[in-house]
Amino acid sequence: MLQACSHNNLVRFYSCLKMTATASSISDAYNVEIVKRDVVLPAFHLEERLLSLSNLDLAIPPVSVHVFFCYNKPSDWTFESMISLLRNSLSSALVYYYVFAGELITNSAGEPELLCNNKGVEFTQAYSATALAQVGFYDPDRTVEGKLVPLLPNSSQGKGNPVFSVQVTEFSCGGIVVGCTFDHKIADAFSGNMFFTCWAKLSKNESIDSLIPSFTKSVLRPQDPPVLSDRVYVNQTPGGKCQQIEDPSLASRIYHLNAKNIEKIQACANEHGKKYSKLEAFCAYLWNLLVHLDSQEIKHYSIGIAVDGRPCLMKMGMPANYFGNVVAFAFAEAAADDIKNKPLSWSAKIIHEAIYTTARKEYFKSLIDLVERTKTTSVSHRITDGNPSSRPVVMVSSGLRFPLYGVDYGWGKPMFASYHFPKGSEGYYVMPFPSPVEDGSWIVYMHLPLYQLNFIGSYCSGILSPITKDHLDFVF
């Protein structure tokens, strides 16, 4: 039915691919020229205020997140008119999402805080003398980073570091890319998508009543006395580095997973009668795949799945429009031999149980308490069980429910959109999104060691295929 259901062929690829993996041949031969760079301020000057970060914010590692939206050439718009609309609606959005116009500072206790001081958002205009359809999104390290998404600017006159920036790039074909970067400590993907949707609706003068953010953090206060669980987080080693078997070079790739293969993976996970979701089945498949690659030297393997805590914490009073980080990771752990040799349904069951255990208010409250207890030390997601032969965990964060293709500023929905982790980001991340063509297929972003990506590209070419313009909603 599917290669994942049979393990014999995977073993043959292990030794040769890990030793001979080479970089992708995707071309990055196009240039982007910066045309103008300035700052967009909130439409109204707001009173300066300090906003404390929650313990769930503090648990997020220091990483910036890129997100970019690609649009076909609009028929009735010029680039100048699009820029004007984007700037004006962004200025309006910053009145409600004033945190993005602020700076991250360090207080006297050494903890980060958000100074909401109306500093505004750096806004860059750029141009590329190529057609958008010629950009190879499969290798975003070479074709997106440093070209279509901005860096967070260094603070020049402010008290801290900016947390949000925007770049809009015009292509010779008339298509554009709206690229944004935000500090993950300020927002998770849910909050980011809430902002992007609000920005787009303001550009079309649509109602944003359900998108006005709340920054009330009372539900995220630690308990007294604290209730701790050793199944949530562990302290990092001195220096903040997570334990790793090796120090591989990390890279990013974007793949296409068609609807039929998603259904086959799910059917393989469900072959013993239990019904698992498509995401649970995909996580089991990915877990199985990577274990086969590493099992000759890794004896214990983990996988983490991001769990949104809003559904359970809303029962305790969290507003549905809460802005900030409300994410924990469900960790499935097992012996590599079991993952490799037992049916995919066995792995799916372990993953399902981990998600069920994590998606509870008790788990999130314990996580909040543990961060409170360990503020003076470096805290990281639980990535091993203390076994020196354990593999650092692969983190799967689903974007299947995020309305990326609803970010329509008035000239149509994006023909492609994706998140991207910049080079140097620590951690192994996999993020599936719906396909823009709305046929049930997925786009799968991966930030993994290069030898793993090359293994996936070679062994899974008929399942996870490199994304091309044929998978996207281009209009030529």
Tell me if 93 is assigned to some domain. yes
Asked if residue 237 and residue 214 are part of one domain, the reply reads: no
How far does Cα 348 stand from its chain's mean position?
22
pLDDT in tens, 331-356: 998 999 999 999 999 999 999 999 99
User: What pLDDT, on a 0 to 100 scale, did the predictor assign at position 224?
Assistant: 83
Which pLDDT band, with edges at 50, 70 and 90, does 455 fall under? confident
User: What pLDDT, on a 0 to 100 scale, did the predictor assign at position 230?
Assistant: 56
User: What pLDDT, on a 0 to 100 scale, did the predictor assign at position 440?
Assistant: 93
Which pLDDT band, with edges at 50, 70 and 90, does 229 fall under? low
Tell me if 28 is assigned to some domain. no
Q: What is the DSSP letter of 343?
A: -
Asked if residue 302 and residue 184 are part of one domain, the reply reads: no
Asked if residue 96 and residue 10 are part of one domain, the reply reads: no
Instruction: Say how far apart CA 6 and CA 343 lie, in whole Å.
Output: 9
Asked if residue 315 and residue 256 are part of one domain, the reply reads: yes
Tell me if 25 is assigned to some domain. no
- Domain extent, residue 179, equals 33-220
Instruction: Say how far apart CA 34 and CA 125 lie, in whole Å.
Output: 6
What are the structure tokens assigned to 375, written together? 């503020």
Tell me if 24 is assigned to some domain. no
Question: If you average pLDDT over residues 99-126, what whole number do you get?
Answer: 94
Tell me if 276 is assigned to some domain. yes
Domain boundary among 201, 220, 239: 220
Asked if residue 418 and residue 322 are part of one domain, the reply reads: yes
Instruction: Say how far apart CA 309 and CA 217 lie, in whole Å.
Output: 13
Longest dimension (CA), the chain: 64
- Is residue 81 scored above 90 in pLDDT? yes
State the total domains in the chain: 2
Tell me if 26 is assigned to some domain. no
Asked if residue 74 and residue 140 are part of one domain, the reply reads: yes
Which pLDDT band, with edges at 50, 70 and 90, does 235 fall under? very low
Asked if residue 284 and residue 408 are part of one domain, the reply reads: yes
**Mean pLDDT of all residues in the chain?**
85
Asked if residue 452 and residue 352 are part of one domain, the reply reads: yes
Tell me if 322 is assigned to some domain. yes
pLDDT in tens, 255-298: 999 999 999 999 999 987 889 999 999 999 999 998 888 766 67
Name the residue with higher pLDDT: 373 or 33.
Answer: 33
Domain boundary among 220, 240, 275: 220
Asked if residue 366 and residue 447 are part of one domain, the reply reads: yes
Asked if residue 172 and residue 63 are part of one domain, the reply reads: yes
Instruction: Say how far apart CA 74 and CA 174 lie, in whole Å.
Output: 7
Instruction: Say how far apart CA 436 and CA 474 lie, in whole Å.
Output: 10
Tell me if 49 is assigned to some domain. yes
DSSP character string of 148-207: TBPPPPPPSSSSSEE-EEEEEEEETTS-EEEEEEEETTT--HHHHHHHHHHHHHHHTT--
Domain boundary among 189, 220, 251: 220
Read off the CATH number of the domain in which 391 is found: 3.30.559.10
Asked if residue 366 and residue 294 are part of one domain, the reply reads: yes
Instruction: Say how far apart CA 354 and CA 94 lie, in whole Å.
Output: 38
Asked if residue 335 and residue 320 are part of one domain, the reply reads: yes
